[in-house]
């Protein structure tokens, strides 16, 4: 699994696409995924993001940077739309503050170091305290070969999430996690869930895509090793 990573890690920018996934119906959404939503940027573009506390949302760090200028997006231009489905969200929240992983560098456009630290925690202006929107917890990465699920918004399904429950953990390379999940634009920031703990728990955030032996793969940071939430002080990161 070495040469394909040397070829390129294509970072997934704002907006769209996941192929070969199962579209989630409104019923699926209401039952399990309302805490997953779209992170919209004023002027166009979006990523996927996930509520991990009443005041905190987890996404990919590169989602809060302007792709052209490399500058941080102003928090006033960011909005989280929880459970976005067919033009409506379960809850809308503007962003108060953004904390990017200290090892992340937007200038480093490619490479596993960027992928391994491509995490950001966003603090909402007001909490989402809704009985049907339960924040997801973060868990440690299971062993290679474990089945995982990815829930994301994409260009061919921007008005509702897609759920892929058939992919596996392929391995780890230079602290970046590699999954056999096919993703595309808009999937940046999408949560990767482990499903063996009785309830879905986040283990990673989608950052980039590539191919291996002709097959599509995705790459992300191991969320459980990178962050901790301190409710009284907002979002803080721990280095691995």
Question: Which CATH number does the domain housing residue 131 bear?
Answer: 2.40.10.10
pLDDT of residue 94: 98
Is residue 101 included in any domain, yes or no?
yes
Residues present in the chain in total: 240
Is residue 216 included in any domain, yes or no?
no
pLDDT of residue 235: 52
Is residue 189 included in any domain, yes or no?
no
Is residue 119 included in any domain, yes or no?
yes
- Residue 168 near residue 148 (C-beta atoms within 8 A): yes
- Determine phi and psi for 28, rounding to 5 degrees: -60, -45
**Tokens 């058939």 belong to which residue?**
166
- Residue 202 near residue 139 (C-beta atoms within 8 A): yes
- Residue 90 near residue 240 (C-beta atoms within 8 A): no
Report the run of H or E that residue 237 belongs to, with start and end. strand 234-237
- Residue 28 near residue 40 (C-beta atoms within 8 A): no
Is residue 74 included in any domain, yes or no?
yes
Is residue 72 included in any domain, yes or no?
yes
Domain count, the chain: 1
Is residue 171 included in any domain, yes or no?
no
Is residue 209 included in any domain, yes or no?
no
pLDDT of residue 99: 94
pLDDT of residue 155: 63
Cβ atoms within 10 A of the Cβ of 214, count? 6
pLDDT of residue 44: 75
Q: What is the pLDDT along the chain (240 residues), one digit of tens a residue?
A: 433 343 334 444 433 223 333 333 444 433 478 999 999 999 878 999 999 999 999 999 999 999 888 999 999 999 999 999 888 999 999 999 999 999 999 987 667 889 999 999 999 999 999 999 999 999 999 999 999 999 998 765 667 788 888 899 999 988 899 999 988 777 899 999 998 888 999 999 999 988 888 888 999 999 875 565 544 444 555 443
Alpha-carbon gap, residue 115 to 60, rounded angstroms: 9
pLDDT of residue 227: 62
Alpha-carbon gap, residue 164 to 36, rounded angstroms: 14
Segments forming the whole domain that contains residue 128: 34-135+226-235
């Amino acid at each position: 699994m070495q040469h394909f990573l040397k070829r390129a890690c294509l970072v997934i920018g704002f907006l769209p696409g996941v192929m070969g996934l199962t579209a989630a119906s409104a019923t699926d959404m209401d039952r399990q995924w309302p805490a997953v939503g779209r992170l919209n940027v004023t002027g166009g573009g979006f990523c996927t993001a996930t509520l991990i506390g009443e005041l905190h949302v987890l996404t990919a760090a590169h989602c809060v940077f302007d792709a052209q200028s490399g500058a941080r997006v102003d928090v006033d231009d960011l909005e989280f739309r929880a459970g976005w489905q067919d033009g409506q969200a379960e809850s809308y929240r503007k962003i108060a503050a953004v904390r990017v992983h200290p090892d992340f560098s937007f200038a480093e456009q490619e490479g596993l170091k960027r992928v391994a630290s491509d995490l950001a925690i966003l603090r909402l202006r007001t909490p989402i305290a809704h009985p049907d929107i339960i924040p997801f917890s973060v868990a440690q990465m299971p062993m290679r070969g474990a089945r995982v699920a990815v829930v994301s918004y994409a260009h061919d399904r921007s008005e509702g999430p897609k759920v892929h429950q058939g992919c596996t953990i392929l391995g780890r390379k230079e602290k970046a996690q590699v999954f056999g999940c096919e993703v595309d634009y808009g999937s940046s920031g999408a949560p990767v869930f482990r499903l063996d703990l009785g309830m879905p728990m986040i283990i990673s955030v989608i950052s980039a895509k590539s191919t291996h032996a002709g097959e599509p793969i995705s790459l992300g940071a191991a969320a459980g090793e990178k962050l901790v939430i301190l409710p009284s002080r907002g979002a803080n990161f721990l280095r691995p």
